[in-house]
Chains A and B, each alone.
Chain A
Amino acid sequence: MSLGLNAAGIRADARRERATLAALTAPAFLILGALLFVPVGWLFWLSIHGDNGYTLENYTRMVVEPAYASVFVTTFELSLLVTALAVLLGYPLSYMIALLPPRAASACLTLVLVPFWTALLVRTYAWLVLLQRHGVVNSLLMNWGLIDQPLALVYNFTGTVIGMLHIMIPFLVLPLYANMRAIDRDYVRAAASLGASPTAAFWRVYLPLSMPGLAAGTVMVFVICLGFYVTPQFLGGGRVTTISMKIQENVATYFDWGAASSLGVVLLVITVAVFWGFSRLLPLRRLTEVSGS
């Protein structure tokens, strides 16, 4: 190998730069390894290892006992409903903010983010105050004569959905807004000039172009919903039992770590599957073949 002018020195510089990068990222890798992979591995081991050695008992219980099936159904119903409502409310909201001039847009985004500044528990209790039998919402509706009897807005499925929706909307709005902001206005103009009514321009051009942000927001909301604990616990009034509440129950009430960890493993598998499914759909071309086919 013939060495050019300064070749050895230049290679040494490149090596040093790689070493620096590795040193800077090493702590993150170590923390991830220690705090993520080790506990998950231990959880998995707990779920298949009982007092008498290896067992699948924890997993068969989930299939055999109807109580578990209903927990899964409730969790999915809740997550799907909250995700769907978050999309219905969040999409127009993001669209409006994306159309605003930059200064007004950042003011609106701040308002969307304000809930993040308050503790989850505080926000959940705030909904209790608003939604309870003689709370603000029921009192107003009755004063206006819209209802005769107070509505059951809390300590049930409805209250849980309302509370979770409020917490989840920013998770949808942020990625969606970032996506929409990057969509050149000329695309919609071009669609209109080519003969697309506003409705057609939305379905054929704007929605497909905003799909990556929508997909990212949707999967984020859905996955966080799957593992939600605080809000269903406090606003569900014991009528709503999610997977995470069942895990808590198994650990705190029955001291059954095997049952709890097997639920955790199943939840993790479902979450990974959802992510994988979405990422398979996500490539722009595949998601958005809306025309010309």
Chain B
Amino acid sequence: MADENSPPSSRGRGEASSALPITIRGLVRHYGRMVALDGIDLDVAKGEFLTLLGPSGSGKTTLLMILAGFTRPDAGSIRFGDVEMVRTPPHKRNLGVVFQSYALFPHMDVAANVAFPLALRGVNGAERTRRVQTALQLVQLGDLGGRRVDQLSGGQRQRVALARAIVFEPGILLMDEPLSALDKKLREQMQIELRHLHRRLGTTVIYVTHDQREALTLSDRIAVINQGRVQQIDTPQRLYEAPANHFVADFIGDSTFLPVTVANGVARWRDQVLTPAAVPRDGAYQLVLRSEKLMLGGDSRHPNTIDAEVIETVYQGDSVRIDVRLAGGDVVTLRELARGGQAAWPSAGDRVRLTLDPADTLLVPTP
């Protein structure tokens, strides 16, 4: 635990000495014939904010449930720090868990909910009151201790659940889609607050979500999970700018794909030579076209220009979505920021030219 007397704002990131690294090896879990986890290896650094990102049914929630001890794996090892935990029951793992449903005890008021883990640890009297109050202030609910749970809004419940999970200063915090029940505006606000809170506490966090923007906003690193396997684990920027495979490129970002062949060190889409960021080994690839990376305009002096015909233009407030058809019939989406007032966007039937910067020209192996 960090020095109690220093003001919380002076706590630097990762200062909390109670934060623990997590080491996961060979984690396997079947449900009947279905494979939920197919050999997961994962290292989470002390104080890191790691997000498990994947579609529903990918295994990310199973992984979190196994880490919390609510589900038994078939095999594998989980270490918190140096301690093997895979056979330890949940109440002895000393984890903070925030549930999607919040799971606030309806028969206790807010303060009693937050005091619950302290009471179980024999923290009593003034010390307990003080720590409950500190935790509630940390989530900006300092004056709501006496409220009943059913008198709180969704955002407030979320904060109480968070306060309850951190009040006993666990070294690891697990969060299962904690913001998914909130509306968009509140969710974005809570994302920023979670970032600040994590900086302040320095706890190791494992966070599960299927929302890519949330993952990109919050995480130090993201582990993309699909079909029970880690597809790629990287920083948000690396994940977005250098996806390891077709699944990652497709799952993160608004992408369409074109088939590309690399032969004798030259990448080609149909007959056209492409200039990618890096030319991979000869073989079959997919060109990743992110809607915001494609630019309207350009001429034949630029590398990577493609002629296209506009199918539909949709004004979406902050941006304009333009669907175009390329020679050969592939349909691609591009997105232009709606700037400059009444700018004239191309409309259906117009011939346009698209340009892709070589740095944004990503190739992933054909799955």
Contact = CB atoms under 8 A, between A and B. Distances in A.
Interface size class of A (residues with CB under 8 A): 20 to 34
A205 B69 CA distance: 19
A60 interface: no
B94, B95, B101, B120 — which one has the most chain A CB atoms within 10 A of its CB? B120
Interface residues of B, number: 33
B247 interface: no
Interface string B40-76: 0000000000000000000000000000111000000
A292 interface: yes
Interface in A189-205: 189-198, 200-201, 204-205
Interface string B97-124: 1010101011111011101110111000
Q: Is the interface of B mostly helix, strand, loop or mixed?
A: mixed
A152 to B, nearest CB: 45
B168 interface: yes
A106 B365 CA distance: 51
A193 B120 contact: no
Interface in A161-192: 184, 186-187, 189-192
12 contacts: A184-B101, A189-B68, A190-B97, A191-B116, A193-B68, A193-B97, A194-B97, A194-B165, A196-B120, A200-B120, A284-B106, A293-B112
B31 to A, nearest CB: 13
Contact of A285 (B69, B107, B174): B107
B148 interface: yes
Contacts of A187: 103, 105
Given A189-B68, A189-B70, A189-B99, A196 B91 contact: yes
Residues of A contacting B: mostly: helix
Contact of B112 (A189, A194, A197, A291): A291
B111 A292 contact: yes
A292 B115 contact: yes
Contacts of A208: 107
A156 interface: no
B259 interface: no
A222 to B, nearest CB: 23
A63 to B, nearest CB: 42
Contact of B108 (A184, A189, A291): A291
A285 to B, nearest CB: 7
Contact of A195 (B107, B108, B120): B120
A198 B90 CA distance: 10
Interface string B303-337: 00000000000000000000000000000000000
Q: Which of A194, A198, A284, A292 has the most CB of B within 10 A?
A: A194
B116 A192 contact: no
Interface string A196-231: 111011001100110000000000000000000000
A247 B95 CA distance: 62
Contacts of A248: none
Most buried by B among A189, A198, A293: A189
